[in-house]
């Protein structure tokens, strides 16, 4: 039986393009610490996907999966997500497994107002979320706000000691 024909093309980077390509890619930009940070590949748990700038925890098998409802230590920034061909080939994501780095990201919980110095954690705060949000008692402190920009947060990672 023949495959179904593709009836729609959604890629916004196919002309006529659907995004401003001249803007900075802010899903994750490491401002300090690229040279010394540990970029470690980890297998991705079955069914999980990650984008650059999201965070992953390691399950008992050492595979990357999305965070649960409480912020825990051992939650790592995703440097290279599953949306790339190399990840598809290896079945792995690249995590930043050292700290501190200073990073800017447009992937954060916009449901809070942040101030410089606020602690951040990473937990599931809604369908599909795997990015920094406001820290609350009981959560591991995973980052601290360094600057609040329009559309992005700058934070230093703390390693998540509980």
Partner 1 sequence: MHEGLDAQTFNNLFVEQLDTVDGIKKTAAAGAAFVRARIREIGFGRRIMPPESVTRVDLTRSTDHDTLIKIVDIEHNSKAMALNFAGEADERYIQGKRYAIPFFKIESEKFVKSEGELLAYDYPITKVIEENSIKDIQKVEDIKFIEYAEAAISLTGKRLVSAATAVDRKEMNSLFKMIDYDQLLADVCLMNTVDFDDYMVQPAIDIGSPLASEITVDGYKYQTILKRKLVVTNKHDILLPGEIWTFTEPAYLGNFFILNDIKFWIKKEADLVMWKSWEYIGEGFGNIRSIAKIELDVPNPIPVGGTI
Interface residues with partner 1 (CB under 8 A) are 6, 11, 13-25, 29-35
Least distance (Å) between residue 77 CB and partner 1: 13
Shorter beta-carbon distance to partner 1: residue 33 or 159: 33
Least distance (Å) between residue 78 CB and partner 1: 14
* Cβ 145 vs Cβ 114: under 8 Å: yes
C-alpha gyration radius of the chain = 17
Shorter beta-carbon distance to partner 1: residue 22 or 115: 22
Shorter beta-carbon distance to partner 1: residue 11 or 61: 11
Shorter beta-carbon distance to partner 1: residue 57 or 95: 95
Least distance (Å) between residue 48 CB and partner 1: 23
Burial 92-130 (b: 16+ CB within 10 A, else e): bbbbbbebebbbbbbbbbeeeebeeebbbbbbebeeebb
Q: Name the nearest CA neighbour of 80 among 37, 50, 104, 43.
A: 50
Element of type H or E holding 30: strand 29-32
Least distance (Å) between residue 159 CB and partner 1: 20
């Amino acid at each position: 039986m023949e495959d179904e024909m593709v009836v729609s093309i959604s890629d916004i980077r196919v002309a006529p393009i659907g995004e401003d390509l001249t803007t900075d890619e802010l899903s994750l930009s490491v401002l300090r610490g690229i040279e010394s940070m540990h970029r470690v590949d980890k297998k991705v748990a079955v069914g999980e996907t990650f984008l650059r700038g999201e965070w992953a925890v390691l399950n008992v098998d050492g595979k990357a999966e999305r965070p649960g409802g409480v912020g825990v230590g051992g939650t790592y920034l995703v440097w290279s997500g599953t949306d790339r061909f190399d990840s598809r080939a290896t079945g792995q994501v690249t995590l930043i497994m050292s700290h501190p780095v200073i990073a800017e990201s447009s992937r954060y919980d916009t449901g809070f107002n942040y101030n410089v110095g606020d602690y951040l954690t990473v937990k599931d705060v809604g369908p599909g979320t795997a990015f920094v949000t406001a820290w609350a008692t009981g959560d591991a402190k995973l980052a601290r706000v360094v600057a609040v920009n329009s559309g992005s947060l700058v934070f230093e990672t703390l390693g998540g000691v509980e």
